[in-house]
Chains A and B, each alone.
Chain A
Amino acid sequence: GQNIDQPTEMTATEGAIVQINCTYQTSGFNGLFWYQQHAGEAPTFLSYNVLDGLEEKGRFSSFLSRSKGYSYLLLKELQMKDSASYLCAVRPEDTDKLIFGTGTRLQVFP
Protein backbone atom coordinates (compact mmCIF):
# COMPACT_ATOMS: atom_id res chain seq x y z
CA GLY A 1 0.00 0.00 0.00
CA GLN A 2 0.91 3.65 -0.09
CA ASN A 3 0.70 5.90 2.92
CA ILE A 4 2.11 9.34 3.67
CA ASP A 5 1.72 10.93 7.09
CA GLN A 6 2.20 14.53 8.13
CA PRO A 7 0.95 16.50 11.13
CA THR A 8 -2.30 18.27 10.35
CA GLU A 9 -1.47 21.64 11.86
CA MET A 10 1.47 23.50 13.34
CA THR A 11 1.95 26.98 14.72
CA ALA A 12 5.11 29.05 15.07
CA THR A 13 6.27 32.58 15.75
CA GLU A 14 7.69 35.03 13.23
CA GLY A 15 11.48 34.76 13.09
CA ALA A 16 11.53 31.25 14.55
CA ILE A 17 12.46 27.88 13.01
CA VAL A 18 9.92 25.12 12.35
CA GLN A 19 10.38 21.51 11.25
CA ILE A 20 7.57 19.71 9.42
CA ASN A 21 7.92 15.93 9.40
CA CYS A 22 6.73 13.44 6.84
CA THR A 23 6.82 9.65 6.98
CA TYR A 24 5.98 7.47 4.04
CA GLN A 25 5.40 3.89 2.97
CA THR A 26 5.15 3.47 -0.78
CA SER A 27 5.63 0.77 -3.37
CA GLY A 28 9.04 1.79 -4.64
CA PHE A 29 10.63 5.21 -4.34
CA ASN A 30 11.89 7.65 -6.91
CA GLY A 31 12.06 10.92 -5.02
CA LEU A 32 10.27 13.03 -2.43
CA PHE A 33 8.92 16.52 -3.08
CA TRP A 34 7.77 19.33 -0.86
CA TYR A 35 5.22 21.82 -2.14
CA GLN A 36 3.80 24.97 -0.58
CA GLN A 37 0.12 25.76 -1.05
CA HIS A 38 -1.59 28.95 0.06
CA ALA A 39 -5.33 28.58 0.64
CA GLY A 40 -7.24 28.24 -2.62
CA GLU A 41 -4.11 28.53 -4.73
CA ALA A 42 -1.91 26.19 -6.73
CA PRO A 43 0.81 24.15 -5.02
CA THR A 44 4.28 25.51 -5.80
CA PHE A 45 7.44 23.42 -5.81
CA LEU A 46 9.82 23.91 -2.88
CA SER A 47 12.32 21.05 -2.80
CA TYR A 48 13.26 17.60 -4.00
CA ASN A 49 15.24 14.78 -2.36
CA VAL A 50 16.13 11.45 -3.88
CA LEU A 51 19.35 10.65 -1.97
CA ASP A 52 19.77 10.59 1.80
CA GLY A 53 20.81 13.87 3.33
CA LEU A 54 20.03 17.52 3.54
CA GLU A 55 19.24 19.84 0.63
CA GLU A 56 19.44 23.55 1.47
CA LYS A 57 17.74 26.26 -0.50
CA GLY A 58 17.77 29.66 1.13
CA ARG A 59 15.51 29.72 4.19
CA PHE A 60 14.17 26.25 3.35
CA SER A 61 15.95 22.92 3.78
CA SER A 62 14.70 19.39 3.25
CA PHE A 63 16.09 16.15 4.66
CA LEU A 64 15.57 12.56 3.56
CA SER A 65 16.29 9.17 5.12
CA ARG A 66 15.22 6.44 2.72
CA SER A 67 15.91 3.60 5.17
CA LYS A 68 13.54 5.20 7.69
CA GLY A 69 10.95 6.39 5.17
CA TYR A 70 11.29 9.85 6.67
CA SER A 71 11.68 13.40 5.51
CA TYR A 72 11.42 16.82 7.05
CA LEU A 73 11.12 20.36 5.77
CA LEU A 74 12.92 23.00 7.82
CA LEU A 75 11.83 26.60 7.57
CA LYS A 76 14.12 29.24 9.10
CA GLU A 77 13.54 32.91 9.90
CA LEU A 78 9.81 32.46 9.56
CA GLN A 79 7.82 35.23 7.93
CA MET A 80 4.09 35.87 8.01
CA LYS A 81 3.89 34.96 4.32
CA ASP A 82 5.07 31.43 5.21
CA SER A 83 1.60 30.73 6.64
CA ALA A 84 0.40 28.07 4.21
CA SER A 85 -0.04 24.33 3.81
CA TYR A 86 3.07 22.26 3.16
CA LEU A 87 2.55 19.11 1.13
CA CYS A 88 4.85 16.11 1.19
CA ALA A 89 4.67 14.00 -1.96
CA VAL A 90 6.41 10.80 -3.03
CA ARG A 91 7.08 9.71 -6.57
CA PRO A 92 6.88 5.91 -6.68
CA GLU A 93 9.24 3.90 -8.83
CA ASP A 94 8.62 3.66 -12.57
CA THR A 95 6.06 6.43 -12.65
CA ASP A 96 5.88 10.21 -12.83
CA LYS A 97 2.74 10.55 -10.71
CA LEU A 98 2.92 11.95 -7.19
CA ILE A 99 1.32 10.55 -4.07
CA PHE A 100 0.54 13.40 -1.69
CA GLY A 101 0.08 13.49 2.05
CA THR A 102 -2.86 15.49 3.39
CA GLY A 103 -0.60 18.46 4.08
CA THR A 104 0.48 20.38 7.17
CA ARG A 105 -1.20 23.72 7.74
CA LEU A 106 1.34 26.12 9.24
CA GLN A 107 0.24 29.32 10.95
CA VAL A 108 2.88 31.94 11.70
CA PHE A 109 2.02 34.45 14.41
CA PRO A 110 3.67 37.84 15.01
Chain B
Amino acid sequence: DSGVTQTPKHLITATGQRVTLRCSPRSGDLSVYWYQQSLDQGLQFLIQYYNGEERAKGNILERFSAQQFPDLHSELNLSSLELGDSALYFCASSSPTSGSYNEQFFGPGTRLTVL
Protein backbone atom coordinates (compact mmCIF):
# COMPACT_ATOMS: atom_id res chain seq x y z
CA ASP B 1 0.00 0.00 0.00
CA SER B 2 1.61 3.24 -1.21
CA GLY B 3 -0.52 5.51 0.96
CA VAL B 4 -2.08 7.17 -2.12
CA THR B 5 -5.83 6.61 -2.41
CA GLN B 6 -8.03 6.95 -5.47
CA THR B 7 -11.77 6.75 -5.89
CA PRO B 8 -13.69 5.28 -7.51
CA LYS B 9 -11.89 2.06 -8.40
CA HIS B 10 -14.08 1.47 -11.44
CA LEU B 11 -16.24 3.81 -13.47
CA ILE B 12 -18.49 2.91 -16.39
CA THR B 13 -20.16 5.70 -18.30
CA ALA B 14 -21.41 6.67 -21.74
CA THR B 15 -19.93 8.83 -24.48
CA GLY B 16 -20.54 12.52 -24.01
CA GLN B 17 -20.72 12.29 -20.22
CA ARG B 18 -18.54 13.94 -17.59
CA VAL B 19 -16.79 12.21 -14.68
CA THR B 20 -14.61 13.23 -11.75
CA LEU B 21 -11.76 11.12 -10.42
CA ARG B 22 -10.46 11.78 -6.94
CA CYS B 23 -7.01 11.32 -5.42
CA SER B 24 -5.62 11.76 -1.91
CA PRO B 25 -1.82 11.92 -1.75
CA ARG B 26 0.40 10.36 0.89
CA SER B 27 0.50 12.28 4.12
CA GLY B 28 2.96 15.16 3.75
CA ASP B 29 3.33 14.94 -0.04
CA LEU B 30 2.73 18.28 -1.74
CA SER B 31 2.95 17.13 -5.37
CA VAL B 32 0.21 15.24 -7.15
CA TYR B 33 0.56 13.83 -10.66
CA TRP B 34 -2.05 12.37 -13.00
CA TYR B 35 -1.21 9.71 -15.60
CA GLN B 36 -3.29 7.89 -18.21
CA GLN B 37 -2.50 4.29 -19.17
CA SER B 38 -4.24 2.87 -22.23
CA LEU B 39 -3.95 -0.73 -23.37
CA ASP B 40 -1.52 -0.06 -26.16
CA GLN B 41 0.41 2.77 -24.58
CA GLY B 42 2.60 3.30 -21.58
CA LEU B 43 1.89 5.69 -18.77
CA GLN B 44 1.25 9.13 -20.23
CA PHE B 45 1.83 12.12 -17.99
CA LEU B 46 -1.16 14.46 -17.90
CA ILE B 47 -0.59 17.13 -15.27
CA GLN B 48 1.18 17.94 -11.98
CA TYR B 49 0.06 20.11 -9.10
CA TYR B 50 2.28 21.29 -6.27
CA ASN B 51 0.70 22.69 -3.12
CA GLY B 52 -2.40 23.82 -4.98
CA GLU B 53 -0.69 25.31 -8.03
CA GLU B 54 -0.30 23.78 -11.47
CA ARG B 55 3.40 22.88 -11.88
CA ALA B 56 3.68 20.99 -15.17
CA LYS B 57 1.43 20.00 -18.01
CA GLY B 58 1.74 17.05 -20.39
CA ASN B 59 -0.42 15.94 -23.27
CA ILE B 60 -3.66 16.68 -21.47
CA LEU B 61 -6.70 17.21 -23.68
CA GLU B 62 -8.68 20.43 -23.40
CA ARG B 63 -11.68 18.31 -22.37
CA PHE B 64 -9.74 17.30 -19.25
CA SER B 65 -9.02 19.54 -16.30
CA ALA B 66 -7.67 19.09 -12.81
CA GLN B 67 -7.27 20.94 -9.56
CA GLN B 68 -5.65 20.48 -6.16
CA PHE B 69 -7.51 21.64 -3.09
CA PRO B 70 -6.17 23.24 0.13
CA ASP B 71 -6.22 19.84 1.87
CA LEU B 72 -3.97 18.64 -1.02
CA HIS B 73 -6.41 16.14 -2.49
CA SER B 74 -6.82 16.41 -6.24
CA GLU B 75 -9.58 15.84 -8.75
CA LEU B 76 -9.32 15.08 -12.46
CA ASN B 77 -12.38 16.08 -14.47
CA LEU B 78 -13.00 14.40 -17.82
CA SER B 79 -15.79 15.80 -19.99
CA SER B 80 -17.39 15.05 -23.37
CA LEU B 81 -16.09 11.55 -22.96
CA GLU B 82 -15.12 9.51 -26.02
CA LEU B 83 -14.55 5.79 -26.45
CA GLY B 84 -10.82 6.43 -26.65
CA ASP B 85 -10.78 7.87 -23.14
CA SER B 86 -11.26 4.38 -21.73
CA ALA B 87 -8.10 3.74 -19.74
CA LEU B 88 -6.56 3.34 -16.30
CA TYR B 89 -6.01 6.70 -14.65
CA PHE B 90 -3.32 6.80 -12.00
CA CYS B 91 -2.57 9.43 -9.46
CA ALA B 92 0.87 9.64 -7.89
CA SER B 93 2.37 11.81 -5.18
CA SER B 94 5.84 12.81 -4.10
CA SER B 95 7.76 15.17 -1.90
CA PRO B 96 11.45 16.09 -1.87
CA THR B 97 11.46 15.44 1.87
CA SER B 98 10.01 11.93 1.73
CA GLY B 99 11.43 9.08 -0.26
CA SER B 100 15.12 8.94 -0.97
CA TYR B 101 14.94 10.14 -4.57
CA ASN B 102 11.76 12.21 -4.73
CA GLU B 103 10.27 9.12 -6.33
CA GLN B 104 6.59 9.02 -7.14
CA PHE B 105 4.23 6.75 -5.23
CA PHE B 106 1.25 5.56 -7.23
CA GLY B 107 -2.33 5.02 -6.18
CA PRO B 108 -4.32 1.91 -7.19
CA GLY B 109 -5.86 3.67 -10.19
CA THR B 110 -9.35 4.28 -11.52
CA ARG B 111 -10.42 2.11 -14.43
CA LEU B 112 -12.65 4.18 -16.71
CA THR B 113 -14.78 2.45 -19.31
CA VAL B 114 -16.65 4.60 -21.81
CA LEU B 115 -19.43 2.77 -23.68
Contacts and interface: CB of A to CB of B under 8 A. Distances in A.
Contact of A45 (B42, B43, B104): B104
Interface residues of B, number: 30
Given A41-B108, A87-B42, A98-B45, A33 B2 contact: no
A99 B109 contact: no
A33 B103 contact: yes
Interface stretch (B13-21, B64-72, B73-81, B94-102): B94-102
A98 B88 CA distance: 17
Nearest to A85: B42
A31 B105 CA distance: 16
Given A96-B31, A97-B56, A103-B42, A31 B101 contact: yes
B24 interface: no
Given A97-B33, A100-B42, A101-B42, 12 more contacts: A31-B101, A35-B106, A44-B2, A45-B103, A48-B100, A48-B101, A96-B33, A96-B55, A96-B104, A98-B43, A99-B45, A100-B44
10 nearest CB pairs, A to B: A102-B42, A42-B106, A100-B43, A48-B101, A100-B42, A45-B103, A97-B45, A97-B56, A43-B106, A42-B108
Interface of B: 2, 4, 31, 33, 35, 41-45, 48, 50, 55-56, 58, 88, 90, 94, 99-109, 111
